[in-house]
A and B are shown apart, each in its own frame.
Chain A
Amino acid sequence: MFELHEVTKRFPGTDTPAVDRVSLHVETGEICMLLGPSGCGKTTILRMINRLIEPTFGSVFIDGQDIAQVNPDQLRRGIGYVIQQIGLLPHRTVEENIALVPRLLKWPQNRVSGRVQELLETVGLDPQLVGKKFPYQLSGGQMQRVGVARALAVDPPIMLMDEPFGAVDPIIRLRLQDEFLNLQQSFRKTICFVTHDMNEALKMGDKIAILNNGRLIQHGTPREILSHPADPFVSHLIGEDRGVKLLDLVCVEALMTSGDNDGANGTCVQLNDPAKTALDLMLQENTDRVTVCQGQNVAGYVTWGAIKEYVHRVGGDGPG
């Protein structure tokens, strides 16, 4: 758990603060997305959590302790840090890069090598194939996996991630996001994740904090943000298709009509699938109603009309 209290950063020689009285509370095991345009202060906030930048005033607390009281180097060894440019040490092998923090903490050699093997497998890399390679011999996706493995090395409870998947191509990015969410299911890290991509924020975030000009504009779950944008800036950031985006976050159940599907044609979605799945299926099968199942049993059906009506109601704009 960590908490920002009225954190402000004013860089020397600038009139307006880069970060202006931001207070934020991130629960244990939660992914908090910091979202906003470039220059909104999101990276500055992230870097104040591991003291790469010191706040002008305000404080950051980790598990109730003011981090200004902690030695910065010690603090950083206990916080995973992943950046977009990755910053692998070019003169060290993949294994040595991952072993960096364990070595700084003077772990015994056999524990370090065991941990390195384990981590490489965790992030989906073959220790035999990749372990002895140097960073320049890896693809962008592989490098980013090594970056994540390195940050996880000593199993820090908190991770700071600054657009970690920003530099890889869209297909790899989606795969890395999915894999990371899978890992997070079991790891339950407390994560602060910087992005400028609304879709990434909606997909990865338990909470989203939207920033503009150093101020916190809105903080809430993806669903709260989509259904009740705080101001025109947030609406604009979400884009015109927020109704369609909401379909990703609402369960089929909410739009379902109970009873048998008379025109049953074998296409079926699960009760707790996102409504988007039903829409995709309709478009794919060229039909306007799909059966909703709970396990093997039919629970009801969703119609094109119900989806259209919902999107229109929450978004004011529909797919057709």
Chain B
Amino acid sequence: MALDSQLFFEALLERSPPHILEHFRLVLVPLFFAFLLAFPLGVFLTRPRYQRYAGQALALLNAGQTVPPLAIIAVFLPFLGLGFFPAVFALTIYALLPIARNTIAGISSVPEEVKEAARGMGMTSWEVFTRVELLLSLPVIMAGLKTSAVLTVGTAVLASLVGGRGMGAVIFAGINFFRPELIVAGTLVIGLMAVILERLLSMVEWLALPRHLR
């Protein structure tokens, strides 16, 4: 099957651009809510009193990860209907796991003796958390956020199936009308978005890190 280069460039340069912003919104909004939920959850599950629930919570989130986002949308369809909001809902659930898992892994990996010394010096629990635990686990937490971001860029394609728009509109048009040019162009754009988002988050991380850990 020969690719129609004119159609390909039309898809890339004219059909895709209007959807790029929609797609970014479909990524950033769920990512924001996922972080808002998963980060405190991860922190909570590393506190000594609740540590023992960390395993169960992760198992639950792992299970959540195996359910396809489409299935989540289908299950909630009667309550949430179609459109942007249900898509965001499903994508949020999908983005929770890497953030929560890496938050737990990062904070647990801070050496016990460093925390003990910090406490023994007279740092309050809050100071130990913000100045020691969080700073030392930042690279791992950010890695989780990046994983979620890249994952969501890909998964957000499905949003167009429930009327959530985004780059899925281009790709599914290609699938429905047997136009591989559209599929390739849409995929290319999504790939670029994933790379850009990952780089952006790396820059944020670099700015937040103490200089010698950079």
Contacts and interface: CB of A to CB of B under 8 A. Distances in A.
Contact of A87 (B118, B127, B210): B118
Interface string B88-126: 000000000000000000000001011111111111100
Contacts of B116: 52, 83, 87
Interface residues of A, number: 24
Contacts of B212: 91, 134
A92 B115 CA distance: 14
Interface stretch (A74-82, A121-129, A190-198, A281-289): A74-82
In this complex, the interface size class of chain B, counting residues with CB under 8 Å from chain A, is 20 to 34
Nearest to A136: B212
B185 interface: no
Contacts, number: 63
B123 A86 contact: no
Given A104-B127, A134-B212, A88 B121 contact: no
A85 B122 CA distance: 17
Contacts of A81: 117, 120-121
B57 interface: no
Interface centre among A74, A89, A134 (most CB of B within 10 A): A89
A227 B38 CA distance: 63
B121 A104 contact: yes
B118 A89 contact: yes
A101 interface: yes
B123 A52 contact: no
B136 interface: yes
Contacts of A74: 122
Given A73-B124, A101-B122, A104-B123, A90 B136 contact: yes
A18 B15 CA distance: 72
A219 interface: no
A86 B121 contact: no
Nearest to A84: B113
A104 B132 CA distance: 14
Contacts of B120: 50, 52, 76, 81, 83, 87, 160
A24 to B, nearest CB: 20
A52 B118 contact: no
B113 A77 contact: no
Interface centre among A85, A87, A104 (most CB of B within 10 A): A87
A40 B114 CA distance: 24
Contacts of B61: none
B213 interface: yes
Contacts of A89: 114, 117-118, 132
A242 interface: no
Contacts of A85: 111, 113, 117
B135 interface: yes
B99 to A, nearest CB: 22
Contact of A76 (B121, B132, B135): B121
A8 to B, nearest CB: 22
Interface in B123-170: 123-124, 127, 132, 135-136
A274 to B, nearest CB: 35
A52 B116 CA distance: 9
A28 B14 CA distance: 83
A314 interface: no
A83 B114 CA distance: 10
Interface centre among A76, A78, A83, A90 (most CB of B within 10 A): A90
Interface of A: 50, 52, 73-78, 81, 83, 85-92, 100-101, 104, 134, 150, 160
Given A76-B121, A104-B121, 17 more contacts: A74-B122, A75-B122, A76-B120, A76-B122, A77-B122, A78-B122, A81-B120, A81-B121, A83-B113, A85-B111, A85-B113, A85-B117, A87-B115, A87-B116, A87-B118, A91-B135, A100-B123
13 contacts: A52-B116, A73-B122, A74-B122, A75-B122, A76-B119, A81-B117, A83-B116, A85-B113, A87-B116, A87-B118, A91-B213, A100-B118, A134-B212
7 A-B pairs with least C-beta separation: A87-B117, A77-B122, A85-B113, A76-B122, A81-B120, A87-B113, A87-B114
